[in-house]
Structure 1
């Protein structure tokens, strides 16, 4: 299986040894961040630093003139990735023979939500999620589509992986996060992800729902969970809490908005890209899921994109619905964490890759070469050498 590792530009810029060290892992490809959310990251081998603080979501290259006069536009990076940090890193990595693909994070941007609060998801209680742009809003959709095209098609890139191209919800690692005190379960997280911004309220209306009534029903359904009642029923729990018709109507609105955004973003990337440019989406086959790997319909997404990157931290089972489509030539990339300190398991990578291959994986993604310890990277080298 072809292997790629995720990398940040700041893992490479200023560290002449980084490209060769990454290539020595045995990967054929790097997936290099071109547009990324705010983060605080280790750089355990960099000659000049150990911590990078990316203060806000930013593009890691100079944005072009398409954004002139627009209220919603990407933010340039600060001193954590100045100038064309992406381009500098990509050139150095390509010089070792590695194929470079862009890594583009889309509907996940806390600064956008802070400066343009009307763009954010609003839950049934009226709380805004500034990290989560509402993908139903026309202006936000136009911004995300243009950002996808610009950030994806960087000079020399052979493809792109689009992350967070869909709905985002409550799940968000935030500074000093303290939202884990109540276990909402899958159904509760869906209810907390339902958006009630003006665009979504109109959307529910088009589905025959009164948005005020729906918000009240959602709040009532969540009340037992706040008191500690366990709920791990998944979609069946949503149906029981909202009723079958209401639950289906919310899904109809949200699924259509996500699907058409994905179609538009992929089309925009293809229009800007050279022939043969590969377009993958980070995706979860459970269609009501939200977050960095938004839920998709496997048949639909594989008819739009060249393939998917599938989260496999809990095992490779999520690959199966995509593999069952039998789409010839589709890329099914199993994404494994290899940073022990972040819950990854580089020591089991050989077995994990074998299980993923048996379930239809054609490629593997490794998160994340820049964050991993030397011991983690050695385990990766051994696993890839034995493929």
Structure 2
């Protein structure tokens, strides 16, 4: 079972011991960020720094000026790592330590893009824009994301890529100083808060026989009890259908599902066209098609007909793993169980051996560990011990 750990280039650049430290964990592969969203990240072992503030979504390599010349939507270069090409510098060090390197590419999650180009953002039923969430139904956004996928994924020496947020993003977002938890929303209500009403989506709803204004009003009515009380806990697609009405809910999912599937097809095709034969393409995914976010909702049968496999969120109770791995049972392709191993972020490296074995019993054939640069020394020691006992 191949195991890969996630890393940022800044975990490696400027730390001559970083690559060997990762190799000593017993992993064979690193999934290294090539395009990433804004973040503030701890670097607990770096000899020169303790905090990196990535102020906006950016690529961690020099973008190709010919590809992006004359285009309004283009990737932003980074400025917080003292290197011309931090991705390449980190990848070379990791490769020299005997590790295979795959790229990690975040697509439809970009707050700066939404701030500078507000017309590209998801617009909810109340008219509020989500600047962190580019609307993937908009032609200019799709063109940007497809080209970004190809460029960021296929870096020199990379053997594959993992595409995160290759689909709809929505309400849920860890924004700076978030103040959104006063009224709790279950994932059914979050779906309603994630429905987009930009001009492209309004046209899409009309193609499903829906009047966009009437649909927005129905969404607001369905959510009114949440605001009048303490929120909602309803979860699952049947809960969405009960809140909004089955016909309306199903029509919205038909539109959004078509948009997401065609984006995934186009992004994977663009990556493969740019890469050498044998380049592996995985998507971070959730098997519930209505879900939004980093692990975007997919149709299990469709996604495995397009990509080489999926990376699935498996941290937590057995039931959580069963929910995400179960729909993929018996299917061909890479099923990578993704575990958070940072105790301070809700991970459980102490139970990794047991949890990984459980995932394998459900069909997982690879492991992903988030995140070797953020984890404490005790967390990494627990990971190394678990992998040694698992023989990974």
Residue 149 of structure 2 is matched in structure 1 by: 148
Range with greater deviation from structure 2 (177-186 or 22-31): 177-186
Distance in 1, matches of 2:2 and 2:115, equals: 40
What SS class does the counterpart of residue 133 from structure 2 fall into? strand
Superposition TM-score, scaled by structure 2 size: 0.97
Distance in 2, matches of 1:171 and 1:133, equals: 13
Q: 1:302 to 1:195 in 2, by over 3 A?
A: same
Residue 210 of structure 1 is matched in structure 2 by: 211
Residue 53 of structure 1 is matched in structure 2 by: 53
Gapped runs of 5+ residues in structure 2?
Answer: none
Please list the CA deviations of residues 283-305 of structure 1 after superposition, one character each: whole Å capped at 9, or x if unmatched: 00011000000110000000000
Residue 253 of structure 2 is matched in structure 1 by: 251
The alignment status of 1:323 with 2:324, answered yes or no, reads no
Please list the CA deviations of residues 227-257 of structure 1 after superposition, one character each: whole Å capped at 9, or x if unmatched: 2253324211211122111111100100000
Distance in 2, matches of 1:198 and 1:40, equals: 34
Residue 224 of structure 2 is matched in structure 1 by: 223
Superposition TM-score, scaled by structure 1 size: 0.98
Q: 1:203 to 1:81 in 2, by over 3 A?
A: farther
Distance in 2, matches of 1:81 and 1:92, equals: 16
Residue 344 of structure 2 is matched in structure 1 by: 341
What SS class does the counterpart of residue 286 from structure 2 fall into? coil
Distance in 2, matches of 1:221 and 1:178, equals: 22
Please state how far the C-alpha of 1:325 moved relative to its aligned partner. 4.3
Q: 1:218 to 1:316 in 2, by over 3 A?
A: same
Residue 238 of structure 1 is matched in structure 2 by: 240
2:52–2:80 CA contact under 8 A, matched in 1: no
Residue 269 of structure 1 is matched in structure 2 by: 271
What SS class does the counterpart of residue 256 from structure 2 fall into? helix
Distance in 1, matches of 2:235 and 2:97, equals: 49
Gapped runs of 5+ residues in structure 1?
Answer: none
Residue 33 of structure 2 is matched in structure 1 by: 33
Give the one of 353, 373, 376 matched to 1:373. Answer: 376
- Give the root-mean-square deviation of aligned CA atoms: 1.0
Residue 310 of structure 1 is matched in structure 2 by: 312
Distance in 2, matches of 1:230 and 1:340, equals: 28
The alignment status of 1:15 with 2:20, answered yes or no, reads no
What SS class does the counterpart of residue 297 from structure 2 fall into? coil
Please state how far the C-alpha of 1:279 moved relative to its aligned partner. 0.2
Distance in 2, matches of 1:338 and 1:356, equals: 15
Distance in 2, matches of 1:373 and 1:303, equals: 38
Distance in 2, matches of 1:319 and 1:293, equals: 11
Distance in 1, matches of 2:166 and 2:216, equals: 25
2:53–2:80 CA contact under 8 A, matched in 1: no
Residue 101 of structure 2 is matched in structure 1 by: 100
Distance in 2, matches of 1:93 and 1:37, equals: 22
1:293–1:310 CA contact under 8 A, matched in 2: yes
Aligned positions, number: 385
Please list the CA deviations of residues 267-287 of structure 1 after superposition, one character each: whole Å capped at 9, or x if unmatched: 000000001000000000011
What SS class does the counterpart of residue 283 from structure 1 fall into? strand
What SS class does the counterpart of residue 219 from structure 2 fall into? helix
